[in-house]
Amino acid sequence: MQNKPTDELLKILENCSMETAISLGIQMDDAEGLTFCNYLAACQNHHGIELAEIAQSAQIHRTYIYQIADGRRNPGRDKVIAISLAGGFSLDETQRLLKLSGNGSLYPKTSRDAILIKALYQHLSVMDVNLILEKQALRSL
C-alpha cells in the first residue's frame, strides 16, 4: 500500500470507511517500522545531535528525555515540540513525531501553533520561543 502514489491513496481514503482508513494508516506505519522512539533516533542521526544536547536545549531533564527516547515515557505535545526545536528538526519531522507520539499536529489556524510553526522554520531556540509565547500571553512550552 505504501508504494501507491499519493493521489491514488487519497482516492482510496475518500471512498473507504473510517475503520479502513485507520487500518491503512496503521499498516503503512507498521510497514515502515515507525515508532516514536526509532523515528526520534533517525531524526537525531540525520541532524547529528546527541540526546543530551537536545535535553539541555529543550530544557528537559536528562533522565526524562532518555525515558522518552527508549519508550518508557510518552511525551506530551509540548515536549515533542521542544525536542524538535532543540534538535533543529523540520516541520515535517515534527508533525511525524507528534503523530507517532499520539499527539495532535500543529495547526496553522491557531495563533500558538502558527508561532510554533514559524519557530520551526526559523530554527529558534526553546528559550526564544517561550519568550515570544509569553509576550503574546500564550502558554509556554
CATH of the domain at 87: 1.10.260.40
Number of domains in the chain: 2
Average pLDDT over residues 116-134: 94
Please tell me the distance from the alpha carbon of residue 24 to that of residue 78, in angstroms, as a whole number: 28
Summarize pLDDT for 45-81 with one digit per residue, the tens. 889 999 999 999 999 999 999 999 999 999 999 999 9
Confidence of residue 38 (pLDDT cuts 50, 70, 90): confident
Is 6 within the bounds of a domain? Answer: yes
Average pLDDT over residues 97-110: 92
47 shares a domain with 4: no
117 shares a domain with 88: yes
Please tell me the distance from the alpha carbon of residue 83 to that of residue 55, in angstroms, as a whole number: 7
Specify which of 13-22, 26-35, 123-132 reaches the highest per-range mean pLDDT: 123-132
- Residues spanned by the domain of 12: 1-33
pLDDT above 50 for 31: no
Q: Give residue 10's pLDDT.
A: 65
76 shares a domain with 29: no
Q: Is 113 exposed, middle or buried (0-12, 13-18, 19+ CB in 10 A)?
A: middle
Is residue 71 within 8 A of residue 36, CB to CB? The reply is yes
